[in-house]
Amino acid sequence: MKYSSEINKRKTFAIIAHPDAGKTTLTEKFLLFGGAIQTAGAVKSNKIKKHTTSDFMEIERQRGISVATSVMTFEYRDVLVNLLDTPGHKDFAEDTYRTLTAVDSVVLVIDCVKGVEEQTEKLMEVCRMRDTPVIIFVNKMDRDGKNPFDLLDELEEKLNIKVRPLSWPINGGTDFKGVYNLYNKSFVSFLPNKKATDDDIVPLADLSSSYVDEHFSAKDAAQLRNDVELIEGVYDPFDNKPYLEGKQAPVFFGSAVNNFGVKDLLDTFVEIAPVPRDREASTRPIAVGEDKFSGFIFKIHANLDPRHRDRIAFLRVCSGRFERNKFYHHVRLDKDVRFSNPYTFLAREKNVVDDAYPGDVVGLFDTGNFKIGDTLTEGESFYFTGIPSFSPELFKELVNKDPMKTKQLEKGIRQLTDEGVAQLFTQHGGNRKIIGCVGDLQFEVIQYRLLQEYGAACQFNTLPFYKACWITGNKQKIEEFTRFKQANIVEDKDGHLVYLAQSEWYLNTERTNNPEIEFHFTSEIH
Ligand code: GDP
């Protein structure tokens, strides 16, 4: 492989969590270890505290930074780590889902008090679709949380994955003593607000050692010995293979805010997490080691400042070497494009790069040529698969309030939906536009941006749909179905037929009545 040394030193991942579980805090600790930032507090939470558009806009405006924090690259123990940021607000969950298509593994943060929360389950479903390897970090052990064995059961049950603790807590909350690392057989004692240094680590290959009796109460010592015996008996040993296949998730316990257990996690991450791998594409699998460059766009970030209407498209390199100023083939538009100022994001600063390798993310200036999912190659025509749209949860009809501005509205809504802000559905055989989103805040953002950036005033009328289902199957049956169900049939941005169901009951009824038609909750249809 021509670029094997570059490929094998890269690990590209995302931290995912239900809001408030500790993603921002953990990100910051990772960056401190990686030397990418020098002081705590340097990573701004991208969380939207109040549920208002102005709050969102304010945050967006402040962050040109959000472009800089979209990808954070740092080196740790000779590994080049690309950490892809995901939005903190659940209304923008789809952005997170798409980012997950661009990573090779994830670290999932769980709050030990709250356990597996709703958003965690959804994020994990997306990981499961692509068998993404997962490492779990149970955070906030300095708080009185759930029993760790109960937590492990909950993780297995709700996330549909086998778990394997690699560290184990001795108590929790105010009585939290530290963790025993089952992977490299050592004990790390917990000191609040103190950076855990190597000195705090005591090798403890044998738990019958007198150290345990000398340093813990009889109760804690017995508990630790029993727990570890139980773990070794009940859980399969950690194995790289099922981890890399996304079937077994190693679990760590710690406290991000106290920087406790974070180093263990990061050390294990750089050791076991996968380097960039081969990817499925429409015509053939694309080997990561191929000489020729290929990559796809997974995120588009618009600059909301009306004076600088540029956009940055984020390209994930999948094979070969990406080079500045070289012409590449934009498969969907069937035209050649080149980039004179591609960016990388080393140490939170945007830098122009000359080349990039598989696993890297490059920011490309875009004047409206890109849509999410677009593929760039050295000439071959294929597109990467596994970048689906998911059914939105809220549907509203877009109503033009100013007939003089129809063109601007059309253009605006197309560009915003290309960016992935929302999904646009058009009435089958008509021109009615229906916008699908995950959360209400997205509608407010669209309304605001259409007015600010395109001068187009619109309003939204709520529609009584609950799910969008992409439909496939027997051609004649589909034709009949679309005729009968005209009011519920729309087309997505690529012209695929979509059935909008009013409720689960309606959907089930249609499924029963139309056995030759398949209903899918994602646009990616296998
Ligand atoms: P995010 O929404 O997942 O990015 O969560 P943040 O990193 O912003 O953390 C949410 C809150 O939990 C903040 O107030 C953190 O200070 C706090 N937090 C993070 N880690 C810990 C921890 O280990 N223990 C405790 N007690 N609080 C924590």
Question: Is 141 part of any known ligand binding site?
Answer: yes
Kindly provide the ipTM of the predicted complex, given to two decimals: 0.99
Whose CA is closest to 464, among 391, 393, 395? 395
- Position of tokens 């995901």? 86
Q: Which atom of ligand 1 is nearest to the CA of 143?
A: 26
Among 42-46, 415-419, 515-519, name the one with the lowest average pLDDT.
42-46
Q: Is 10's C-beta closer than 6 angstroms to any atom of ligand 1? A: no
Which range scores top for mean pLDDT: 289-303, 322-336, 443-457? 322-336
Q: Is 416's C-beta closer than 6 angstroms to any atom of ligand 1? A: no
Question: Is 526 part of any known ligand binding site?
Answer: no
Q: What is the share, in percent, of the chain residues with pLDDT greater than 70?
A: 89
Pocket test for ligand 1, best of 16, 18, 25 (most atoms within 8 A of CB): 25
The tokens describing 198, both together, are 């190597």
Whose CA is closest to 71, among 377, 359, 386, 387? 359
| Residue 445: alpha-carbon gap to chain centroid | 21
Pocket test for ligand 1, best of 15, 257, 260, 264 (most atoms within 8 A of CB): 257
- The C-alpha atoms of residue 64 and residue 178 are separated, in whole angstroms, by 40
Whose CA is closest to 179, among 219, 228, 124, 121? 228
Q: Is 22's C-beta closer than 6 angstroms to any atom of ligand 1? A: yes
- Position of tokens 């190693």? 250
User: Which residues, including other chains, have CB under 8 Å from residue 522's CB and lie 6 or more apart?
Assistant: 129, 388, 389, 390, 391, 470
Distance 255 CA to ligand 1 centre (A): 9
The per-residue b/e assignment along 353-391, b for 16 or more CB within 10 angstroms, e otherwise, is bebbbbbbbbbbebeebbbbbbbbbeeeeebbbebbbbb
- The C-alpha atoms of residue 451 and residue 53 are separated, in whole angstroms, by 13
For ligand 1, atom 26, the nearest C-alpha belongs to 140
Is residue 170 within 8 Å of residue 220, measured between CB atoms?
yes
- The C-alpha atoms of residue 321 and residue 289 are separated, in whole angstroms, by 10
Distance 100 CA to ligand 1 centre (A): 22
- The C-alpha atoms of residue 480 and residue 489 are separated, in whole angstroms, by 12
Widest Cα–Cα separation across the chain? 83
Q: Render pLDDT for 197-227 as a digit per residue (tens, 0 to 9).
A: 555 778 888 888 888 888 889 999 999 999 9
Q: Is 24's C-beta closer than 6 angstroms to any atom of ligand 1? A: yes
- The C-alpha atoms of residue 77 and residue 468 are separated, in whole angstroms, by 46
For ligand 1, atom 22, the nearest C-alpha belongs to 140
Distance 181 CA to ligand 1 centre (A): 23
Question: Is 305 part of any known ligand binding site?
Answer: no
| pLDDT at position 55 over 70 | no
Q: Render pLDDT for 131-163 as a digit per residue (tens, 0 to 9).
A: 999 999 999 999 999 999 999 999 999 999 999
Q: Render pLDDT for 439-466 as a digit per residue (tens, 0 to 9).
A: 888 888 889 889 988 999 999 999 999 9
Reported as a pLDDT band with limits 50, 70 and 90, residue 60 is low
Is residue 291 within 8 Å of residue 357, measured between CB atoms?
no
Pocket test for ligand 1, best of 15, 18, 20, 255 (most atoms within 8 A of CB): 20
Q: Is 45's C-beta closer than 6 angstroms to any atom of ligand 1? A: yes
Distance 202 CA to ligand 1 centre (A): 27
Query: Using the 8-state DSSP alphabet, how is residue 184 labeled?
Result: T
Q: Please give the pLDDT value at position 210.
A: 87
| pLDDT at position 467 over 80 | yes
Question: Is 87 part of any known ligand binding site?
Answer: yes
Q: Which atom of ligand 1 is nearest to the CA of 28?
A: 7
Q: Is 143's C-beta closer than 6 angstroms to any atom of ligand 1? A: yes
Distance 179 CA to ligand 1 centre (A): 19
pTM of the model: 0.88
Strands 423-427, 497-501: pairing kind: unpaired
Which range scores top for mean pLDDT: 58-67, 364-373, 403-412? 403-412
Q: Please give the pLDDT value at position 67.
A: 46
Q: Which atom of ligand 1 is nearest to the CA of 26?
A: 7
Q: Is 338's C-beta closer than 6 angstroms to any atom of ligand 1? A: no
Whose CA is closest to 363, among 10, 38, 69, 148? 69
3-state secondary structure at position 48: coil
Distance 144 CA to ligand 1 centre (A): 14
Q: Please give the pLDDT value at position 253.
A: 96
Mean pLDDT of 235-247: 96
Q: Is 25's C-beta closer than 6 angstroms to any atom of ligand 1? A: yes
The per-residue b/e assignment along 82-110, b for 16 or more CB within 10 angstroms, e otherwise, is bbbbbbbbbbbbbbbbbbbbbbbbbbbbb
3-state secondary structure at position 440: helix
Q: Please give the pLDDT value at position 519.
A: 95
For ligand 1, atom 16, the nearest C-alpha belongs to 257
Distance 235 CA to ligand 1 centre (A): 29
Q: For the purposes of burial, counting CB atoms within 10 Å of the CB of 66, is it exposed (0-12), middle (13-18) or buried (19 or more)?
A: middle
Distance 50 CA to ligand 1 centre (A): 17
Q: Is 433's C-beta closer than 6 angstroms to any atom of ligand 1? A: no
Distance 248 CA to ligand 1 centre (A): 26
Q: Is 455's C-beta closer than 6 angstroms to any atom of ligand 1? A: no
